[in-house]
């Protein structure tokens, strides 16, 4: 006689959530909001910024490319948690995850079409399908792929640098003033819809490096779960300390590109290329530095765990809050809304970012007092855990362990 497990994968319960991951996810969303709002305002102004704009430089040095990369890492972690749970419930967890990604892709397409061209959901969904090939791989195999991808990511700009040294003409640096987002200059909302996909094609044409970095961080998240770094973190303090030391050293090395810019050494083509090599790897090192720093504070300074929990509500409703920040930001800054981008400076952009995050934090706190999941999280769950094609997983009533003497 056999007992059939329910044919639907069951999501991780609220009590099984890892608070630390929600903290990091909530913090990462704050960084994403700041970077995205600066991008929206800058694009409206044609990327014309004063050379002495300190706040702009701080955002560029310490936030740009780092928080979206951290979010990618957490996506890889979430993939493993999802698959491990689904594997206990259904015969084909791959199908369930593919369904989940397809729904996320749908969210991304709707987001691009009706809200903002700077969507990352569609990219996550497309890149996420590659993860299915790594679920059953060993941690050692995943690590080999990570090392190979990191080496390639580092060597690509190095080869470009060597080419520029040999070729006296050099390579033309991207000129942001020539990069126009037509949907950001639209005077009406309907006009912005018609131009948004034109902008998306322009951005997607140069998105290979972003997708590459996303997938690298996906795998790094997979590796951390396979190594059980997030399981019983208290017992793994020495491991987390080593991770933090390595991440800090790597981050400081890549951040040395700041010194090259500060002392105008990048006027020289060779130093400019070295700065580019370091900067292109700053997303990886920065995201791991921030994540491991939170881990160190979480583990070694227990008094901070309470204050750090303020990020968990947004972390648990990250999809809802991500979509809301786009809606609020485009309405506030673009010309078919309030058009504030034409009238504020860097400090204003930064303050609006913090204010919107505070609103999202308050909304998440109030919502989760009444409901277990955020509105978009609930929709995603309902669509994902609907009827799953394929036979339900069957489990013998008496397992081998139960009949062993």
- Quote the mean pLDDT of the chain: 84
**103's tokens:** 């729904």
Burial-class residue 133 by CB neighbours within 10 Å (0-12, 13-18, 19+): exposed
Does residue 99 fall inside a structural domain? yes
Identify whether the C-beta of residue 69 lies closer than 8 Å to the C-beta of residue 216.
no
End-to-end CA distance of the chain: 21
Does residue 339 fall inside a structural domain? yes
Residue 325, pLDDT above cutoff 50: yes
Does residue 110 fall inside a structural domain? yes
- 204-251: pLDDT as tens digits: 776 777 888 899 999 999 999 999 999 888 889 999 999 999 999 999
**260's tokens:** 């090259």
Q: Which domain holds residue 338?
A: 2-171+179-243+309-386
**327's tokens:** 């809606």
Whole-model pTM over 0.75:
yes
Which one-letter DSSP state was computed for residue 168? T
Q: How many domains does the chain have?
A: 1
Residue 25, pLDDT above cutoff 90: yes
Could you tell me the sign of the dihedral formed by the alpha carbons of 228, 231, 235, 241, in that order? positive
Identify whether the C-beta of residue 127 lies closer than 8 Å to the C-beta of residue 68.
no
Does residue 22 fall inside a structural domain? yes
Instruction: Report CA-CA distances (Å) from 347 to 65, 191, 350.
Output: 20, 29, 5
Residue-level pLDDT at 54 = 87
Does residue 108 fall inside a structural domain? yes
Which one-letter DSSP state was computed for residue 5? P
Residue-level pLDDT at 392 = 45
Does residue 403 fall inside a structural domain? no
DSSP string, 289-346: HHHHHHHHHHHH-GGGHHHHGGGHHHHHTHHHHHHHHHHHHHHHHSTTTT-GGGT--H
Lowest mean pLDDT among 89-93, 161-165, 169-173, 336-340: 169-173
Residue-level pLDDT at 232 = 86
Does residue 258 fall inside a structural domain? no
Crossing angle for the helix pair 346-370 and 19-44, nearest 10 degrees?
A: 140
The candidate with the shortest Cα–Cα distance to 65, out of 213, 179, 246, 203, is 213
Identify whether the C-beta of residue 216 lies closer than 8 Å to the C-beta of residue 146.
yes
Does residue 361 fall inside a structural domain? yes
Compute CA 152 distance to the chain's CA centroid, rounded to the nearest angstrom.
21
Compute CA 71 distance to the chain's CA centroid, rounded to the nearest angstrom.
2
- Cα–Cα distance, 295 to 404 (Å, whole number): 42
pLDDT band per the 50, 70, 90 thresholds, residue 97: very high
**87's tokens:** 């594997």
């Amino acid at each position: 006689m056999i007992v059939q497990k329910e044919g639907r994968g069951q999501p991780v319960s609220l009590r099984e959530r890892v608070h630390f991951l929600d903290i990091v996810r909530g913090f990462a969303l704050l960084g994403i909001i700041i970077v995205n709002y600066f991008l929206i305002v800058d694009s409206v102004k044609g990327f014309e910024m004063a050379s002495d704009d300190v706040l702009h430089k701080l955002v560029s040095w310490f936030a740009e490319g780092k928080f979206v990369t951290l979010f990618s890492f957490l996506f890889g972690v979430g993939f493993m948690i999802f698959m491990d749970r689904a594997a206990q419930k259904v015969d084909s967890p791959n199908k369930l995850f593919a369904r989940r990604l397809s729904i996320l892709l749908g969210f991304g397409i709707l987001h691009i079409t009706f809200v903002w061209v700077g969507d990352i959901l569609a990219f996550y969904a497309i890149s996420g399908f590659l993860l299915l090939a790594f679920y059953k791989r060993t941690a050692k195999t995943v690590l080999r792929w990570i090392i190979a991808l990191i080496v390639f990511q580092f060597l690509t700009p190095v080869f470009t640098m060597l080419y520029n040294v040999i070729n006296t003409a050099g390579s033309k640096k991207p000129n942001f003033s020539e990069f126009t987002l037509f949907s950001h200059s639209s005077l009406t909302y309907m006009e912005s819809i018609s131009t948004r996909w034109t902008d998306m094609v322009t951005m997607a044409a140069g998105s290979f490096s972003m997708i590459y970095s996303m997938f690298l961080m996906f795998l790094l998240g997979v590796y951390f779960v396979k190594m059980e770094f997030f399981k019983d973190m208290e017992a793994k303090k020495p491991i987390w300390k080593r991770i933090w030391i390595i991440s800090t050293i790597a981050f400081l090395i890549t951040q040395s590109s700041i010194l090259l810019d500060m002392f105008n050494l990048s006027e020289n083509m060779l130093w400019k290329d070295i700065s580019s090599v370091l900067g292109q790897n700053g997303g990886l090192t920065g995201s791991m530095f921030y994540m491991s720093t939170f881990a160190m504070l979480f583990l070694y300074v227990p008094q901070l765990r309470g204050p750090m929990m303020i990020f968990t509500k947004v972390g648990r409703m990250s999809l809802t809050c991500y979509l809301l920040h786009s809606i609020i930001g485009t309405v506030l800054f673009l010309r078919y809304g309030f058009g504030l981008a034409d009238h504020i400076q860097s400090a204003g952009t930064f303050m609006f970012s913090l204010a919107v995050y505070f609103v999202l934090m308050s909304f998440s706190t109030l919502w989760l007092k009444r409901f277990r999941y955020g509105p978009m999280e609930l929709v995603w769950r309902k669509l994902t855990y609907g009827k799953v094609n394929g036979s339900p997983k069957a489990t013998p009533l008496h397992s081998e362990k139960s009949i062993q003497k």
